[in-house]
Homo-oligomer: A and B are copies of this chain.
Amino acid sequence: MKSEMGTKTSPQEPQVAGPDDLRERKRTRTRLMIQAEAFRLFASKGYADTTVEEIADAAAISARTFFRYFPTKEDVVLWDEYDPLMPQLLDARPLDEPPAATARAVMRESLGGIYRRDPEQLLARVRLFQSVPELRARFLGNLDRGGEMFASLLVQRLDRHVDELKARVVATALGAAVTAALDVWQRGDGKDDLLAVFDQATDSLVDGFRELERTDPG
């Protein structure tokens, strides 16, 4: 779901829960509150017909303040509290795993985390992605950035013993599996198990690309 809102915390800082951390917690709570109000309004009047001002009013803040918490209206939908933990997930994987397997595992867990947290909300979000083109575009953009980030983290961690292009292209392709999985899952009203659908999608990918093994392009 990735959004651009930076934590500002440089990665090497010590983990003592300083005042920064506390402030960050407070900001997160506020964001969640705004998001909740926004989703209520979106559900009742639709995304386009809900203005930022209405969201701000519902959240009892000024419109200006809204933008301090979310850089754009789109980000209210895109933002996810559990987004930026890809590095940790990566660290948990064995170093000798093939890159594609690592990528799949990281995505699976990332998706699973968001899924288990609040399936209802995820469904609402996915529906918005489906119906509002700009949101879908932003979502895809985030997946894409995730792919790039994954590739560069992987290169770092394996001391350049990987093909960056390959890592990136595979990671991004797995994004296609995520998208398709969410799509199918949403069409079934969230009744299926999302991760099962995701696995099916990645299997389709594996299947499909086997067909290309010994074919000339063109």
Contacts and interface: CB of A to CB of B under 8 A. Distances in A.
Interface of A: 98-101, 104-105, 108-109, 133-134, 136-138, 140-141, 144, 147, 163, 165-170, 172-173, 175-177, 179-180, 184, 199-202, 204-213, 215, 217-218
Contacts of A137: 134, 137-138, 140-141
A105 B208 contact: no
A8 B137 CA distance: 24
Number of copies: 4
A169 B119 CA distance: 23
Contact of A141 (B108, B136, B147): B136
A158 B180 CA distance: 21
Contact of A165 (B98, B99, B163, B184): B184
A211 to B, nearest CB: 4
Given A168-B180, A202-B212, 6 more contacts: A108-B218, A136-B144, A167-B208, A169-B208, A176-B176, A210-B210
Given A138-B137, A184-B165, A105 B217 contact: yes
B101 A212 contact: yes
A147 B170 CA distance: 17
13 contacts: A134-B137, A136-B141, A137-B137, A137-B140, A144-B176, A144-B179, A163-B204, A165-B201, A169-B204, A170-B208, A175-B176, A202-B212, A202-B217
B98 A211 contact: yes
A23 to B, nearest CB: 15
A190 to B, nearest CB: 17
Nearest to A167: B208
A136 B99 CA distance: 26
A198 to B, nearest CB: 8
